């Protein structure tokens, strides 16, 4: 005799739930803890004697510098970029010491006051003849006058334009103009672009323009990534790199969240070690640190009142850390 329906339905729902949970937990664990022996080898030349180049924006300090150092450790030569020349040259010298014989080039250029034509010229000059296969669109900050945590009503026109230029326009122009999406022009057989965003893309109080531009980064990156896939471009990889929690850096040192803060060098290593797996799985977004991913994944499941309380507390803590120093 067939079992009654009131027993069959809960059993099927239970089995489906267990299968769904097991699948997600396995994917999560293998993604974060089963790592490749030779990360990013897919973006290297087939010829062992040929150089391999990566370009990281905003990389004289913070996480950008850490990506550059990790890329050098993985065998890439790097182009680093920032807008304070002495600091940039000091960072380049430090990087050269990391791997004797490695090459480091510098692009000294302000990502706020840039113009498209001049940026194209400067990038053309610094990448001339190089097989650049990886671009990390990392530069980002809050380049406004006075208090970086001011209310939106206190922004002036220049604050708004500077924020959009640094965090959104510069990334868009870099991606467009370096043609890293087109490996034939970048002279590599396969290329990768990582576009950095932040948890602020959900909308943080007192960080209105920063939040908005980070949401722009997410939409831009995901759109371009899907467009490339729709066009069948298997030689071009593109991921949104979601920095969904505190990473200790030059720009983020105060009022850090007690749970989930991580050093820039550890974060950069985690990110680059997980790229191959993210690309293989067809992901459009990479969140490399398991604690950040878990904390961020909870957000859609809790009521807005809890999200409001959490983001208010988090940014209040940062404001207090910043004001104590003033
Ligand atoms: N740290 C975090 O917890 C966190 C969280 C979420 C997202 N993120 C994102 O991750 C990225 C890196 O953050 P970070 O904390 O490592 O930043 P950071 O420590 O402030 O470093 C920023 C880098 O960008 C350069 N830079 C700043 N303004 C520039 C400009 N106008 N033109 C050219 N270069 C400029 C800086 O050098 P100079 O000032 O010497 O030019 C430095 O090399 C950013 O996009 C940020 O939004 C960070």
- Ligand 1 pocket test, candidate residues 95, 141, 200, most atoms within 8 A of CB: 141
Closest by Cα among 312, 307, 277, 282 to 295:
307
Q: Measure 251 CA to ligand 1 centroid, in angstroms.
A: 6
Q: Measure 141 CA to ligand 1 centroid, in angstroms.
A: 5
Q: Are the C-beta atoms of 113 and 139 separated by less than 8 Å?
A: no
Q: Give the Å distances, CA to CA, from 47 to 50, 171, 187, 298.
A: 5, 31, 13, 45
What is the mean pLDDT of the segment spanning 50-75? 97
Q: Is residue 56 classed as helix, strand or coil in its secondary structure?
A: strand
Question: Which protein residues touch ligand 1 with a CB less than 6 Å away?
Answer: 58-64, 82-84, 87, 110-112, 138-141, 143, 166, 196, 198, 243, 246-247, 249-252
Does 3.40.50.720 match the CATH number of domain 37-325? Answer: yes
Q: Measure 58 CA to ligand 1 centroid, in angstroms.
A: 6
Closest by Cα among 203, 199, 195, 280 to 241:
195
Q: What is the pTM of this model?
A: 0.95
- Ligand 1 pocket test, candidate residues 118, 139, 262, most atoms within 8 A of CB: 139
| DSSP state letters, 227-242 | HHHHTT-TTEEEEEEE
Per DSSP (E only), the strands in 45-200 are: 53-56, 77-82, 104-108, 132-137, 191-198
Q: Measure 102 CA to ligand 1 centroid, in angstroms.
A: 24
* pLDDT at residue 6 in the model: 82
Q: Measure 87 CA to ligand 1 centroid, in angstroms.
A: 13
- Please report, for the chain, the start and end positions of each structural domain, with discontinuous segments joined by +: 37-325
Q: What is the pLDDT of residues 110-165, one digit of tens each?
A: 999 999 999 999 999 999 888 899 999 999 999 999 999 999 999 999 999 999 99
Q: What is the pLDDT of residues 172-230, one digit of tens each?
A: 999 998 876 666 445 668 999 999 999 999 999 999 999 999 999 999 999 999 999 99
* pLDDT at residue 182 in the model: 63
Indicate which atom in ligand 1 lies nearest the CA of residue 83: 41
Q: Measure 66 CA to ligand 1 centroid, in angstroms.
A: 11
* pLDDT at residue 2 in the model: 78
């Amino acid at each position: 005799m067939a079992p009654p329906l009131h027993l069959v339905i809960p059993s099927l729902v239970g089995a489906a739930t267990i299968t769904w949970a097991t699948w997600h937990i396995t994917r999560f664990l293998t993604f974060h803890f089963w790592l490749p022996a030779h990360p990013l080898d897919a973006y290297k030349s087939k010829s062992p004697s040929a150089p391999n180049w990566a370009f990281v924006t905003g990389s004289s300090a913070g996480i950008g510098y850490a990506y550059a150092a990790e890329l050098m450790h993985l065998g890439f030569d790097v182009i680093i970029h920032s807008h304070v020349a002495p600091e940039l040259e000091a960072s380049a010298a430090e990087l050269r010491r990391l791997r004797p014989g490695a090459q480091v080039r510098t692009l000294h250029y302000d990502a706020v006051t840039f113009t498209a034509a001049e940026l194209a010229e400067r990038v053309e000059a610094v990448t001339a003849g190089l097989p650049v296969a990886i671009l990390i669109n990392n530069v980002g900050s809050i380049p406004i006058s006075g208090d970086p945590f001011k209310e939106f009503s206190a922004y002036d026109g220049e604050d708004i334009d500077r924020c959009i230029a640094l965090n959104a326009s510069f990334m868009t122009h870099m991606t467009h103009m370096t043609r890293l999406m087109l490996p034939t022009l970048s002279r590599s057989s396969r290329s990768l672009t990582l576009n950095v965003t932040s948890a602020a893309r959900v909308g943080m109080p007192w960080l209105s323009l920063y939040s908005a531009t980070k949401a722009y980064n997410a939409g831009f990156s995901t759109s371009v990534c899907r467009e490339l896939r729709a066009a069948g471009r298997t030689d071009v990889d593109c991921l949104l790199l979601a920095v969904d929690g505190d990473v200790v850096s030059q720009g983020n040192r105060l009022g850090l969240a007690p749970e989930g803060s991580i050093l820039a060098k550890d974060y950069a290593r985690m990110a680059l070690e997980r790229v191959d797996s993210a690309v293989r799985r067809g992901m459009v977004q990479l969140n490399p640190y398991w604690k950040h991913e878990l904390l961020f994944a909870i957000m859609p499941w809790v009521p807005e009142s809890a999200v409001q309380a959490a983001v208010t507390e988090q940014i209040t803590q940062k404001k207090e850390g910043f004001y104590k120093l003033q």
